[in-house]
């Protein structure tokens, strides 16, 4: 796992550690780590042209001290000052090592354009809102430069606590962060400005509380594995209520996600036409034809260990009757798509003891909690936490960075998302996949986070073309939801291999 802590907690941990260390020792630790990463990015330190973009805060000091270390190894280091304030000790160290100070005018612009490596120390983790001048202009120049851009702790212009970007921001190739990750490094749009994130240990570990946000790695994703005594019932039976006369594809895709997601059995129920299509595409599924809205007919479906309801179901009274019946059980339930629209007018149905997983995009969450879509997109972390507490449920908020929240637990951030998932039906696949993990016995938060990880990984695998004219192809191909279903077994193999390693 990658662990991230809110800015206030990082500040408190830094203060507690500094109280036990000699003055300036913590900054020197950060500078040493920053300089080491930067040296590794250069073909040779001696003679390299390094430019420091320096604001008046501690990150500016980190950059100056790191620059001094590189200058002592023969790099030609120039600091471009943003504003009147500058860290006096760091500047003295740089100048003493042979570095130079530039203003932010034409000389500074020329130095940035000619640099082999640029260290962004304009703002720190306490920065929020848009960058002001001259910081905004310097950030833009660095982002356009040909040299490698290394952000100090967090790219300037990115809100370290939320990932919000309001205006100009530094587009880094590498971000060197200190002590712990910050949420904004893991959540888009901020995450997209970070490049590769390198964590430098400066000794904060004992001072830090439990994390606020975590991002799983492949080895952390542990879907249920069948054992020697497994049968289809022990592996998990998922019941799916999806599709209608108007929307039939959702039913097929949801069933496919569940079957490829490891379910021992899928019991699918709907009106006749979706049932026929599911039977045709997935003969493994056990199907039941029910009348529209006949909640009492669920008893005919047979024993299941989790329910998935909503994709393509419609939003009329018939769908509401089925949702009420399913949420009235004592089984884990995942609600998606049309089911969420119905739930927005029947939030009373969430008063249940069994686990409930909701998988909205921002528009669906806006109907559930009464906030605007724009407000949710602007503060995704805040709203997913609030929704998990208010509803209450395990809430998976879809988006460029999918977030999974449960009350009083660290928010899970999915790192495998890809824009290729912005295609019709991919959400239906995710619903079936998570439903299978729930049926297999995974707790709701783990099932939702693992499902998001595997879903994103499958999309990446499906979109990566293997060869073009006999050579490896490094781009991505358009994919459909069916491609994601087909790639799920490979995604499962990938995380199993990572866990074994």
Q: What is the C-alpha end-to-end distance of the chain, expressed in Å?
A: 15
Taking the C-alpha atoms of residue 389 and residue 159, their distance in angstroms, rounded to an integer, is 24
Taking the C-alpha atoms of residue 18 and residue 29, their distance in angstroms, rounded to an integer, is 11
Residue 295 burial (CB < 10 Å; 0-12/13-18/19+)? middle
Q: Where are the beta strands (DSSP E) in 345-491?
A: 356-358, 394-397, 403-405, 411-413, 467-468, 471-472
CB 163 within 8 A of CB 188: yes
Which residues are annotated as part of the binding site for AMP?
A: 398-402, 427
CA angle 480, 187, 447 (to 5 degrees): 60
CB 101 within 8 A of CB 91: yes
Which residues are annotated as part of the binding site?
A: 58-62, 120, 124-130, 153, 156, 250, 312, 361, 398-402, 427-428
CB 337 within 8 A of CB 243: no
Identify the residue whose tokens are 């709203």: 383
Taking the C-alpha atoms of residue 63 and residue 400, their distance in angstroms, rounded to an integer, is 31
Q: DSSP assignment, residue 404?
A: E
Q: Which contiguous run of DSSP H or E holds residue 149?
A: strand 148-152
Q: DSSP assignment, residue 42?
A: S
The tokens for 76 are 């030609």
Taking the C-alpha atoms of residue 158 and residue 142, their distance in angstroms, rounded to an integer, is 15
Which residues are annotated as part of the binding site for K(+)?
A: 59, 120, 156
CA angle 259, 261, 262 (to 5 degrees): 75
The tokens for 401 are 């960075």
CA angle 126, 199, 172 (to 5 degrees): 65
The tokens for 123 are 């703002």
Which residues are annotated as part of the binding site for (6S)-NADPHX?
A: 58-62, 124-130, 153, 250, 312, 361, 428
**DSSP code string of 244-306:** -SS--HHHHHHHHHHHHTT-SEEEEEESHHHHHHHHHH-TTSEEEE--TT-GGGHHHH---SE
Q: By C-alpha distance, which of 480, 441, 434 is closest to 459?
A: 480
What counts of helices (H) and strands (E) characterise the chain? Answer: 18, 20
Taking the C-alpha atoms of residue 258 and residue 237, their distance in angstroms, rounded to an integer, is 10
């Amino acid at each position: 796992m990658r662990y991230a802590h809110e800015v206030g907690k990082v500040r408190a941990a830094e203060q507690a550690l500094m109280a036990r260390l000699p003055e300036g020792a913590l900054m020197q630790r950060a500078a040493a780590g920053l300089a080491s990463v930067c040296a590794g990015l250069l073909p040779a330190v001696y003679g390299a042209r390094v430019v420091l973009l320096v604001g008046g805060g501690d990150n500016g000091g980190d950059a100056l001290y790191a620059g001094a270390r590189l200058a002592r190894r023969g790099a030609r280091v120039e600091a471009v000052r943003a504003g009147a304030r500058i860290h006096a000790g760091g500047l003295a160290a740089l100048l003493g090592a042979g570095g130079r100070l530039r203003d932010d005018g034409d000389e500074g612009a020329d130095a940035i354009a000619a640099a082999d490596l640029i260290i962004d120390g304009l703002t720190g983790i306490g920065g929020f809102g848009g960058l002001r001048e001259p910081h905004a202009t310097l950030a833009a120049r660095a982002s356009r430069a040909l040299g490698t851009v290394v952000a100090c702790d967090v790219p300037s212009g990115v809100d370290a606590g939320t990932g919000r970007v309001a205006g100009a921001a530094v587009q880094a190739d590498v971000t060197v962060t200190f002590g712990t990750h910050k949420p904004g490094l893991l959540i888009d749009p901020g995450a997209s400005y970070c490049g590769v994130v390198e964590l430098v240990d400066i000794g904060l570990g004992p001072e830090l509380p439990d994390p606020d946000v975590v991002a799983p790695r492949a080895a952390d994703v542990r879907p249920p594995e069948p054992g020697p005594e497994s049968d289809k019932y022990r592996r998990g039976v998922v019941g799916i209520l999806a599709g209608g006369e108007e929307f039939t594809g959702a039913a097929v895709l949801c069933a496919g996600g569940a079957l490829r997601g490891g379910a021992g059995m899928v019991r699918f129920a709907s009106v006749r036409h979706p049932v026929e299509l599911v039977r045709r595409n997935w003969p493994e599924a056990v199907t039941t034809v029910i009348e529209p809205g006949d909640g009492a007919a669920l008893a005919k479906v047979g024993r299941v260990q989790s329910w998935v309801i909503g994709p393509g179901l419609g939003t009329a009274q018939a769908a509401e009757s089925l949702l009420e019946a399913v949420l009235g059980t004592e089984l884990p339930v995942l609600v998606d798509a049309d089911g969420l629209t119905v739930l927005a007018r029947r939030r009373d149905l969430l008063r249940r003891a069994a686990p409930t997983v909701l998988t909205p995009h921002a528009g669906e969450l806006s109907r559930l909690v009464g906030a605007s879509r724009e407000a949710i997109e602007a503060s995704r972390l805040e709203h997913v936490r609030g929704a998990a507490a208010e509803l209450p449920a395990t809430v998976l908020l879809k988006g460029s960075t999918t977030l999974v929240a449960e009350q009083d637990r660290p928010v899970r951030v999915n790192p495998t998302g890809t824009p290729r998932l912005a295609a019709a039906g991919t959400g239906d696949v995710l619903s079936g996949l998570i439903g299978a993990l729930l049926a297999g016995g995974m707790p709701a938060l783990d099932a939702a986070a693992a499902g998001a990880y595997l879903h994103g990984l499958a999309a990446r695998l499906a979109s990566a073309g293997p060869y073009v004219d006999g050579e490896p192809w490094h781009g991505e191909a358009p994919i459909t939801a069916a491609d994601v279903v087909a790639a799920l077994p490979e995604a499962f193999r990938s995380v199993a291999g990572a866990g074994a390693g």
